[in-house]
């Protein structure tokens, strides 16, 4: 009788914070289709790019999933982080992880990214750093970028980090977002933009 395939060990559903206050801490995340934490190597590169902009920054992790990016930012000195995800299971695990870390200056909100942005238009809240890692090939990137820019949610020189499918050659970002860095790894391309002035018209 054929043996059943072994269950994947729980350790495979863990991520490691790689720098700052919580360096080396391991955190769990749920098994959900499309949830793919940013790999350690890419996170290390990203936070090297951001090291001068991160201290005290107000951050938004819009498709937070495992929380790898938002929690890494907090660990490395961000002033405040908002984690947004539509999955109740994801949000519950994020809350468990925040309790384990005794994290402060952070809140978790359950909502779809686009709806969250629509609800916070012209709220007066502005972010210095935004992480955008939407599900691939679902057309979510363009409306989220537009809402961030048009809704007054970005500070004057905000940084925006985007992960996108490699075949997406030209990202649908506002004209005043200036590409600062770019890296490809496997089937993923990573971009860091700095916001310039206002878009004309």
Q: What angle do CA 58, 63, 67 make, to 5 degrees?
A: 70
pLDDT mean over 157-184: 91
Tell me the mean pLDDT in the region 119-131.
93
CA pair distance 166, 173, nearest whole angstrom: 16
Enter the pTM of the model.
Answer: 0.88
The confidence score (pLDDT) of residue 198 equals 58
**Backbone φ/ψ region at 78: left (φ over 0), alpha (ψ -120 to 50), beta:** beta
Helices 40-49 & 68-75 angle (0-180, nearest 10): 50
pLDDT band at 104 (very low <50, low <70, confident <90, very high): very high
Residues in the chain: 201
| 48 phi/psi in degrees, rounded to 5 | -70, -40
Instruction: Give the mean pLDDT of 17-43.
Output: 84
- List pLDDT tens digits, range 145-169: 999 999 999 999 999 999 988 887 7
Q: By CB neighbour count within 10 A (0-12 exposed, 13-18 middle, 19+ buried), where does 69 fall?
A: buried
Which CATH number applies to 10-195: 3.40.50.150, 3.50.50.60, 3.40.640.10, 3.40.50.300? Answer: 3.40.50.150
């Amino acid at each position: 009788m054929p043996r059943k395939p072994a269950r994947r060990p729980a350790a495979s559903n863990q991520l490691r914070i790689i720098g700052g206050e919580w360096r080396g801490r391991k955190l769990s995340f749920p098994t959900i289709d499309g949830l793919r934490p940013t790999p350690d190597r890419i996170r290390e590169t990203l936070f090297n790019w951001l090291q001068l902009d991160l201290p005290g920054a107000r951050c938004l992790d819009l498709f937070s999933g495992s929380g790898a990016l938002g929690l890494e930012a907090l660990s490395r000195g961000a002033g405040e982080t908002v984690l947004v995800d539509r999955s109740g299971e994801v949000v519950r695990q994020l809350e468990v992880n925040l309790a384990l870390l005794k994290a402060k200056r952070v809140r978790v909100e359950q909502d779809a990214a686009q709806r969250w942005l629509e609800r916070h238009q012209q709220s007066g809240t502005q972010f210095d750093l935004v992480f955008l890692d939407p599900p691939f090939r679902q057309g979510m990137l363009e409306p989220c970028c537009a809402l961030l820019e048009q809704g007054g949610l970005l500070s004057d020189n905000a940084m925006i980090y985007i992960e996108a499918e490699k075949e997406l050659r030209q990202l649908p970002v506002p004209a005043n977002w200036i590409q600062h860095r770019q890296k490809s790894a496997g089937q993923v391309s990573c971009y860091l933009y700095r916001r310039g002035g206002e878009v004309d018209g």
